[in-house]
Amino acid sequence: MNKSRGLGALLGAAVLAVSALPGNAAEPIAVGQLVAQTGATAPVARVYGQGVADAVAYINAHGGVDGRKIMLDPVDYGYESAKAIEAYKRWKETTKPVAIQGWGTADTEALIDYVTKDGVVFMSGSSSGHLTDPSGRSPWTSVPAPYNFFYGPSYSDGCRALVQWAAEQWKRTGSAARGSTFLGDLYRPKFVYMGDNHPYPNSPKAACTDYARDLGFEVLPAVRYALSPGDFSAQCETLKGSGADFAFLANTAESNVALLKACATAGVTTQFLTNIYGWDEAAAKQAGDAGNGLVWVVSVARWGDDVPGMKLVREVSKESDASGQDYRSAHYIRGVCSAFLMRDAMAAAAKAGAVTGANIKKGFEEMRDHVPAGLEGVCLPSTFTANDHRGTTTVMLYRNEYNFGNVAAQRIYQTTIPLRPDWLGW
């Protein structure tokens, strides 16, 4: 018998339980949750959202925040910014949340002015570098984002790490094979950025391609392919004809699987790279041989890793899988880290006198190399300041390995991208 509960059912029960609290119980802390259960990024968004929901349910079952429950109100906004704004306005008139657990880049950036004006902390699944500048001093950001936070490295730093790895890989293997030096005139490695024309895949584009040029790559014209999977044969023929040595895939996993399959059919031999939402175990199984060798960004320990915090992740997972048997991808674990970081900022706010948006913001900005208790080895240490919301610039890279139906992943690289002032908000 399948004992798993869906996100909606779990949260519905949680909200009912909170509303049934006796009158003298501590008032719950209202938090909105934007979940893209539908839309172009749904396959990874649902997993991340479930991680957030399970973590909140676990937190509530173990004392909440200073004895108060977190009342999480989920909304499926279909990955549409207009619907996200509608949901936010409705929350402000009803539950009046002090924080939001969000998802996408377009909707998160569309809500920056709203949450800044209202003093509502916004933790996003999006890791857009534009969200890291709280004061608006960066030339790369259109507005300051003082109330925006996210767990893990930015999309830009993830792409920079991939390019850095590619450069080092080229020095060891590619240039030698072609009888040229890395920066020689005879042959420079070619890099191409691929993705849809949308805020999420576009977010790290300028930062990543600029860094690629700095490292000696010839940056080719970008190749566009849709966030929703389709027939990408034409894009693969373009890629093959370009002679690109490395290609960064800026879309999410489902779209990337379709592209990789098409490119395998076309005989493309380019080394593919992708971001934190661009790959997972489900994608590896769907892609089969076509995904073999792909390198992608990971920001948490993977399910089953022998680290102290995995015990707590497994306990959290039982909130929607009582059997404890469901495999949880990195997207889920990332959602867990996000929720527990929010809890710790709320706990700091409670100690400061009141769990308000302003105090939660301050709680985040006082974190130094912070890992939520019980999640050691799972979540990367986070440091936020009033002038810089880049929580971490540490990036881990994994290589996908597919062998006769067996899927595996190997960590091949870890780096810490410099916390350069000119890269703030980029």
Confidence tier at 403 by pLDDT (50, 70, 90):
confident
Whichever domain contains 236, its CATH number is 3.40.50.2300
Please check whether residue 315 lies inside any domain of the structure.
yes
The Cα 410–Cα 274 span in angstroms is 15
Q: Which residues contact 94 (CB under 8 A, 6 or more apart)?
A: none
154 in Cβ contact with 419 (< 8 Å): no
pLDDT value, residue 173: 86
Q: How far is CA 10 from the centre of its chain?
A: 23
pLDDT value, residue 178: 53
pLDDT value, residue 297: 98
pLDDT value, residue 48: 98
Please check whether residue 202 lies inside any domain of the structure.
yes
pLDDT value, residue 266: 98
Q: Tell whether 342 and 360 lie within a shared domain.
A: yes
- What is the DSSP pairing of strand 394-403 with strand 406-416? antiparallel
Q: Which residue has the tokens 């707590």?
A: 312
pLDDT value, residue 223: 98
Q: Cα separations (Å) of 382 from 105, 118, 315, 334? A: 21, 25, 23, 13
Q: Residue 182: pLDDT above 60?
A: no
Q: Residue 19: pLDDT above 60?
A: no
Q: Tell whether 288 and 332 lie within a shared domain.
A: no
Q: Tell whether 204 and 273 lie within a shared domain.
A: yes
Q: What is the pLDDT of residues 85-96, one digit of tens each?
A: 999 999 999 999
pLDDT value, residue 142: 87
Q: Tell whether 93 and 142 lie within a shared domain.
A: yes
If you average pLDDT over residues 20-37, what whole number do you get? 77
Q: Tell whether 16 and 149 lie within a shared domain.
A: yes
Please check whether residue 143 lies inside any domain of the structure.
yes
pLDDT value, residue 13: 41
Average confidence score pLDDT of the chain: 93
Q: Tell whether 347 and 249 lie within a shared domain.
A: no
If you average pLDDT over residues 318-323, what whole number do you get? 98
Q: Residue 322: pLDDT above 90?
A: yes
Q: What is the pLDDT of residues 341-373, one digit of tens each?
A: 999 999 999 999 999 999 999 999 999 999 999
pLDDT value, residue 20: 36
Please check whether residue 285 lies inside any domain of the structure.
yes
Q: What is the pLDDT of residues 280-310, one digit of tens each?
A: 999 999 999 999 999 999 999 999 999 999 9
Structure tokens at 120: 């509502």
Domain termination site, one of 348, 365, 382: 365
Q: Tell whether 270 and 409 lie within a shared domain.
A: yes
Of the listed ranges 108-122, 128-142, 184-198, the least confidently predicted one is 184-198
pLDDT value, residue 174: 72
If you average pLDDT over residues 112-129, what whole number do you get? 98
If you average pLDDT over residues 195-207, what whole number do you get? 98
Q: Tell whether 149 and 159 lie within a shared domain.
A: no
pLDDT value, residue 23: 32
Please check whether residue 274 lies inside any domain of the structure.
yes
Confidence tier at 26 by pLDDT (50, 70, 90):
confident
Considering Cα of 129, then 132, then 137, then 141, what sign does the dihedral take? positive
**What secondary structure does DSSP assign to 289-341, as a single string?**
GGGTT-EEEE-BPPTT-SSTTHHHHHHHHTTTBTTS-----HHHHHHHHHHHH
One-letter amino acid at 194 equals: M
Please check whether residue 373 lies inside any domain of the structure.
no
Nearest alpha carbon to residue 123 among 34, 203, 18, 8: 34
Q: Which residue has the tokens 């790959």?
A: 279
Q: Tell whether 15 and 81 lie within a shared domain.
A: yes
Q: How many CB atoms lie within 10 A of CB 388?
A: 17
pLDDT value, residue 16: 38
Confidence tier at 405 by pLDDT (50, 70, 90):
confident
Provide the percentage of residues in the chain whose pLDDT is more than 90: 89
Please check whether residue 313 lies inside any domain of the structure.
yes
Tally of structural domains, the chain = 2
The Cα 125–Cα 277 span in angstroms is 10
Confidence tier at 11 by pLDDT (50, 70, 90):
very low
**What secondary structure does DSSP assign to 387-415, as a single string?**
TB-----EEEEEEEEEETTEEEEEEEEEE
pTM of the entire predicted model: 0.92
Please check whether residue 218 lies inside any domain of the structure.
yes
Q: Tell whether 143 and 186 lie within a shared domain.
A: no
**Range of the structural domain that residue 204 is part of:** 155-298+394-423
**Residue 271: helix, strand or coil by DSSP?**
strand
If you average pLDDT over residues 28-51, what whole number do you get? 98
40 in Cβ contact with 227 (< 8 Å): yes
